[in-house]
Structure 1
Amino acid sequence: MDPITSVTRGGKPWTPEFAVSLDGKKCIGCGRCYKVCTRDVLELIDRSEDDIDEDADDDSESISSVMALSNPDDCTGCGACSRVCPKACFTNKPMPLAA
């Protein structure tokens, strides 16, 4: 299927890029993405000890929570989460309309 496409108010073509995954091992739990998402796509979850990268610096080991995609079907593809993420945790891509 072809990805969803639209036009901006100014008439320019636009293809939304939806959040399809989030790398929890990179996430520092800062909450910036959660604050900019208007669709309740994200949730803060407790990080298990298995998720902590032993080779990372000491700051990452103190992180007890990370973001997760809890409702990805509600994503509008605006990309705000990716733009504010300081660790580039998100993977976004064009998607077809869900059946």
Structure 2
Amino acid sequence: MPSMTGLTRGGREWTPAFVMALNQNKCIGCGRCFKVCPRDVFDLIDRDDLDLDDSEFDDDDFDEAPGMVMSLKDADDCIGCEACSRVCPKKCLSHAPLAA
């Protein structure tokens, strides 16, 4: 499948990069990605429902992990705008264009 390329309003080429993964060990559950996403890609869930290794949490601001964490609810609905990555304070998300 060829890489998808579009045009901006100004006529420049743009290649969407779709969400591929979310590092829940880094996530602080702030909900910024959820709020900015124009699609239904994310869901805030209880951290206790996950099987995460507490020793891998990457947040010096908390003595223990907060109660909520973001998850990918429907990554197939991502439009590749990368707005979620731009607002994430912990850089939890990884994106990539469609594979060629």
TM-score, normalising length: structure 1: 0.86
RMSD: 1.9
Aligned residue pairs, count: 96
Partner secondary structure for residue 95 of structure 1: coil
Divergent runs of 4+, >6 A? none
Check conservation: 1:28, 1:60, Cα contact below 8 A.
no
Q: Matches of 1:34 and 1:79 in 2, distance apart?
A: 12
Q: Matches of 1:39 and 1:83 in 2, distance apart?
A: 16
Q: Which residue is equivalent to 1:36?
A: 36
| Alpha-carbon offset, residue 54 of structure 1 | 2.5
Identity %: 54
Q: Which residue is equivalent to 2:23?
A: 23
Corresponding position: 1:95 with 2:98: yes
* Alignment-mate amino acid for residue 47 of structure 1: R
Q: Matches of 1:68 and 1:62 in 2, distance apart?
A: 15
| Alpha-carbon offset, residue 52 of structure 1 | 4.7
Q: Tell me, which stretches of 5 or more residues in structure 1 are unaligned?
A: none
Q: Matches of 1:54 and 1:70 in 2, distance apart?
A: 25
Q: Tell me, which stretches of 5 or more residues in structure 2 are unaligned?
A: none
TM-score, normalising length: structure 2: 0.85
